[in-house]
Structure 1
Amino acid sequence: MLKIDTLHSTVADKPILKGLSLSINPGEIHAIMGPNGAGKSTLAYTLGGRPGYEVTSGSVDFDGQDLLELEPYARAAAGLFIGFQYPVEIPGVSNLQFLREALNSQRRSRGEEPLSGGAFIKLAKEKAGLLGLDMEMLKRSVNVGFSGGEKKRAEMVQMGILDPKLAILDETDSGLDIDALKIVGHGINTIMRKPDKAVLLITHYQRLLDYVKPDFVHVLAAGRIVKSGGPELALDLEREGYAEVVGA
């Protein structure tokens, strides 16, 4: 589904990703861990097409398409979803309005009919229920006045509604208490753990992986993946730290 080949990326002319390669197949969940400044968020932003993140060499194939040639909206329509460490607030735009416009925009780009208001509300109620999010929250402006946990749950509802092929989740566990972590983990498993979907989890800590069991764990350091393994690698990192495990 996703094949990254020797990707190099810069931010403000500073090299961050330095030859990163990674392949993710349908049905797989991959976790990326690494020290601060390793390039984890840069990887997410580069794949999402965020301005200011310039690819200098390498390639990214997503489901048979050259991802780097697509505009950010086209990447989303192709089935790519980015979950941000710090979801932004959009005053004056309700979650329901935002999500319906986003979903129908993607449907139109794929040649599908937009959902009616009634069909969309039914879908939104279903996905909000999975995450324990009250529908009243979705009537409020996007993320305005939300706690950290509410923002992450709202983002998971967004993921459920948009139904992507590949979700790249950048430190989704950041700022979550134990109860919220369980809910978000349940949402990821329910929405994305399917044979035709895949997930790339970016995290500092093992705790999210207690609820979302990855197939593979990768260590990102100095702009490239320096070690890969199974779920036990995350436990080694948690116990021993990066320096002991990868010589960082």
Structure 2
Amino acid sequence: MLTIENLHAEIDGKPILKGLTLTVNAGEVHAIMGPNGSGKSTLAYVLGGRPGYEVTQGSVSFRGKDLLDMEPHERAAAGLFLGFQYPVEIPGVSNVQFLREALNAQRKARGEEPLSGGEFLKLAKEKAALLGLDMEMLKRNVNVGFSGGEKKRAEMVQMGILDPAFAVLDETDSGLDIDALRVVGEGINAIMLSPEKGVLLITHYQRLLDYVKPDKVSVLAAGRIVRTGGPELALRLESEGYDAVMAEAAA
């Protein structure tokens, strides 16, 4: 579903990704873990098409198409969703307005009919209930005045409404307390666990993986994947830290 080959990327002339190779198949949750500064968020931004991140070498194929040749809105319409570590605030724009416009823009790009106001509200209520988010929250401006946990829940509601084929989730567990972590984890499972979908889950910690069970875990260090294993690798990283695993991979 997603194939990354020898990916090199830089920002402001500074190389960050240095030959990253990774494959995520349909029906798979692939967790990426790594120390600070290893390139995890850069990988997410490159996949999402964020300006300022320049790919200097390599390729990314998404559902058989050249992802790097698409504009960010084209990637979204093709089924790619990017969840941010720090969701942004958009004053003056309500969540409901933002989400309906985003969904109908994607439907139009795919040649589908737009949802009416009533149809959209029914869908929004269903997805908000799934994440334990009051519909009144969706009537407020996007993320304005939201706590960290509320922002992440609102973003998961957005993912549920857009119903992507593939989600890149950049440290979705950041800033979440135990209860919010459980709700968000259960929401990811309900929305994305499907034989036709895939998830690239970027995280620092094992705790989210207690709720969203990965099929594979890879360690990203110095811009490259240095180790890939099963869920037990995350447990080892939690108990031993990154140094031991990276030293072993370098041997």
Superposition TM-score tier, normalisation by shorter sequence: over 0.9
**2:220 is the alignment partner of 1:220:** yes
Matches within 5 A, 1:233-248: 233-247=233-247
**Residue number in structure 2 paired with 1:16:** 16
Counterpart CA distance in 2 for 1:125 and 1:141 is 17
Matches within 5 A, 1:60-209: 60-209=60-209
Counterpart CA distance in 1 for 2:243 and 2:32 is 16
**Residue number in structure 1 paired with 2:3:** 3
1:200 partner SS: strand
Aligned residue pairs total 248
One-letter amino acid of the structure 1 residue matched with residue 33 of structure 2: M
Counterpart CA distance in 2 for 1:206 and 1:83 is 18
Q: CA shift at 1:163, angstroms? A: 0.3
One-letter amino acid of the structure 2 residue matched with residue 198 of structure 1: G
One-letter amino acid of the structure 1 residue matched with residue 222 of structure 2: A
Counterpart CA distance in 2 for 1:213 and 1:146 is 28
Counterpart CA distance in 2 for 1:63 and 1:229 is 24
Counterpart CA distance in 2 for 1:166 and 1:224 is 22
Structure 1 stretches of 5 or more lacking a match?
none
One-letter amino acid of the structure 1 residue matched with residue 4 of structure 2: I
Counterpart CA distance in 2 for 1:106 and 1:49 is 16
Counterpart CA distance in 1 for 2:43 and 2:100 is 28
Counterpart CA distance in 2 for 1:54 and 1:155 is 26
2:102 partner SS: helix
Give structure 1 regions of 4+ aligned residues with deviation exceeding 2 angstroms.
none
TM-score of the superposed pair, with normalisation by structure 2: 0.98
**Residue number in structure 2 paired with 1:25:** 25
Counterpart CA distance in 1 for 2:234 and 2:24 is 18
One-letter amino acid of the structure 1 residue matched with residue 38 of structure 2: A
**Residue number in structure 1 paired with 2:38:** 38
One-letter amino acid of the structure 2 residue matched with residue 107 of structure 1: R
Counterpart CA distance in 2 for 1:26 and 1:96 is 30
Counterpart CA distance in 2 for 1:69 and 1:2 is 14
1:132 partner SS: coil
Calculate the aligned-residue CA RMSD, in Å: 0.6
Structure 2 stretches of 5 or more lacking a match?
none
Counterpart CA distance in 2 for 1:118 and 1:195 is 30
One-letter amino acid of the structure 1 residue matched with residue 6 of structure 2: T
Q: CA shift at 1:89, angstroms? A: 0.1
TM-score of the superposed pair, with normalisation by structure 1: 0.99
